Structure 1
Amino acid sequence: MVDYSLLNFQVAGDHTGNLIALEKGKHFPFEIKRVYYIWGTAANAVRGKHAHRKLEQAIICTSGSCDFILDNGKEKVTVHLNSPTQGLYIKHNIWREFTNFSPDCVVMVLASEHYDESDYIRDYDVFLQELENSSSSK
């Protein structure tokens, strides 16, 4: 089973609009060390195409929609994100790709670690080999 979960955020709203407050230690299973966002992506582009050795992420589609394809080396699942009230929590050692972007899609990513290129696995075959090595060493 692919190890991910959906986080639901509480909306405060009235006749003037809506607000979601995300607080350290309250809404995420990790300390947030980095935040970035992605927008202006072509509808059929495929982004991501990597896994992380250590980093965890919470991903929120703040506007529009897109699909995340998550892969643990044995199973793939597609998660459709289309609401700023929900976040996709992805642990490490999960291959991720995202695609099917609506024209107004904005994706915000909250990460458990600062950027570190050595944490990225950008080759799918290397990803599978590292998974096999970690399971055989247990």
Structure 2
Amino acid sequence: MAKSQLNPGRPHLIEFPTHGELAIGYLAVVQMQQEIPFEVKRIFWTYFTPQSVIRGRHAHHATSMVLIAVHGRIEVHTEMLDGYKSSFLLDRPDIGVFLPPLTWHTMQYSHDAVQVVLTDTEYTSEDYIRSYEEFEELRRI
């Protein structure tokens, strides 16, 4: 079973089971509904992102995600509607970070980073909260 923080309603790290050894290499395993707390509906990846670029800069109304750095390093910064902030360093392919809906997030990558993202929804542009001002406005609702 994956190791994660106690509060599943907040962003938290997930450690994926691994098998192998240094002499032969490693295999990290993700079993849906065990390590990933939702049914995966979409998978996408990013790569060759310049280090000077900060990606993300948005939240989702309904989408939960797990971000995994399968190569390189990704710094993830999050903020919840209640003001709770957290930061994560993804620099191992057997670690992911869970982001629930309504989590503002930014990511900064090493140039060689390859990020895989698992989501529980299919893409719709209406799900995106693209301005921080709109995200802050949701705090008042």
For the criterion TM > 0.5, the same-fold answer is yes
- Structure 1: where are the runs of 5+ without partners? 134-138
RMSD of Structure 2 on Structure 1 (CA): 1.6
Q: Secondary structure at the match of 2:49?
A: coil
Task: Determine the C-alpha separation between the residues in 2 that align with 1:40 and 1:64.
Answer: 10
Structure 1 stretches (4+) deviating beyond 6 angstroms? none
> 2:17 maps to which residue?
10
Q: Aligned residue for 1:95?
A: 104
The answer to whether the 8 Å contact 2:17/2:30 transfers is: no
Deviation per residue, 1:57-80 (Å, 9 max, x gap): 011010110111101242432211
The answer to whether 1:35 aligns with 2:26 is no
C-alpha contact (below 8 Å) 2:59/2:130 kept by paired residues = yes
Map Cα deviations across residues 14-37 of structure 1 (whole Å, 9 max, x no partner).
Answer: 432211121222211111000011
Unmatched 5+ stretches in structure 2:
1-6
Letter in 1 for 2:122: H
> Aligned partners of 1:32 and 1:58: how far apart in 2?
10
Count of aligned pairs between the two proteins: 132
How far apart in 1 are the matches of 2:136 and 2:101? 13
Partner of 1:136: none
Specify the SS of the correspondent of 1:48. Answer: strand
Asked if the contact 1:93–1:131 (Cα under 8 Å) also holds between the matched residues in 2, the reply is no
Q: String of CA shifts for 1:99-129, please: whole Å, max 9, x gaps.
A: 1x22211111000100011110001111111
Aligned-pair identity in percent equals 27
